[in-house]
Structure 1
């Protein structure tokens, strides 16, 4: 079964840490982590979650403290049973990093109409709220499936 889940976005400071912690809250018996496709290139490795993401998560009883962004690698992918990406385009980016992981990679928004969850980075609070709502709805749908 899917006991180890990796949530992936671009920088690993907004969407994927939020998705990771929302899923962790819904599925406490599972091992859930997150990573970024371009965390290294963006100079974000080791950084904490975005302030707005942290604030919104806290308002929804989700704690992002202690998060540290990490780069997605093929060895990291190998450690997980299921990899959830935020956008359809992330599938290709992930496949170029870890082609062998393609078969266990799905959209985070798979069960809400295969919806992409747009990146709110450096955008308005409304953009973060929209992303958060999609993440929460998607995580709830995944929790039912798993």
Structure 2
């Protein structure tokens, strides 16, 4: 199973989401069976490290995302990944615009897909302060936990495989 976390610039939400998801997967029965990456619907930051505030936020929660580098979402990602987990509705629409028509359904809003109720979007903390990053982290961490639970249930049914 391969998962791709997507936001706008791939320097805040999607690397934090990738880090939260990787950390959760590594501590679960899915370790070694699910891979995670991240991308952005805009290529402005290609090759750059995550925003220092995102790195600091993840680090406060025991996750190191400092080695990640931004990259743009590409049509080929829809063939390479089983699910494209979008941070918000705007990026979902942008991702589906990039997707080959037959694979557009792989792009989903991550929070509802994971079963998180109450909000569909992870707010972009880029123009905010530390509290905004913490709020986004909380949503991403909840989505990561729910994703691991969802995929673990599938693993028990034999969908993911041994």
Question: With structure 2 as the length reference, what TM-score do the two structures score?
Answer: 0.83
Task: Note the residue ranges of structure 1 that are not aligned, 5 or more in a row.
Answer: none
SS in 1 for 2:37: strand
More off after superposition, 111-120 vs 78-87: 111-120
1:27-38 equivalences under 5 Å are 27-28=25-26, 29=32, 30-38=34-42
Q: Do structure 1's residue 4 and structure 2's residue 2 form an aligned pair?
A: yes
Query: For 1:35-92, what per-residue CA distance to the aligned partner results, in whole angstroms no more than 9, with x for missing partners?
Result: 0001x2x2x0000011011001001001102110000000122100111000122221
Task: Note the residue ranges of structure 2 that are not aligned, 5 or more in a row.
Answer: 27-31, 152-162
Q: Which residue of 1 aligns with 2:124?
A: 119
Give yes or no for contact 1:4–1:81 (8 Å, CA) kept in 2. yes
Higher alpha-carbon Rg: 2
SS in 1 for 2:46: coil
Give yes or no for contact 2:78–2:106 (8 Å, CA) kept in 1. no
Q: Which residue of 2 aligns with 1:23?
A: 21
Distance 1:23 1:11 in 2: 18
Q: Which residue of 2 aligns with 1:109?
A: 111
Alpha-carbon shift at residue 104 of structure 1 (Å): 1.5
Give yes or no for contact 1:91–1:102 (8 Å, CA) kept in 2. no
Q: Which residue of 2 aligns with 1:74?
A: 75
Give yes or no for contact 1:108–1:139 (8 Å, CA) kept in 2. no
Distance 2:48 2:15 in 1: 11
Q: Which residue of 2 aligns with 1:45?
A: 46
Question: With structure 1 as the length reference, what TM-score do the two structures score?
Answer: 0.91
Q: How many aligned positions are there? A: 141
Give yes or no for contact 2:96–2:107 (8 Å, CA) kept in 1. no
Superposition misfits of 4+ residues, deviation over 3 angstroms: none
Give yes or no for contact 1:48–1:67 (8 Å, CA) kept in 2. yes
Give yes or no for contact 2:4–2:84 (8 Å, CA) kept in 1. yes
Q: Do structure 1's residue 13 and structure 2's residue 11 form an aligned pair?
A: yes
Distance 1:100 1:49 in 2: 32
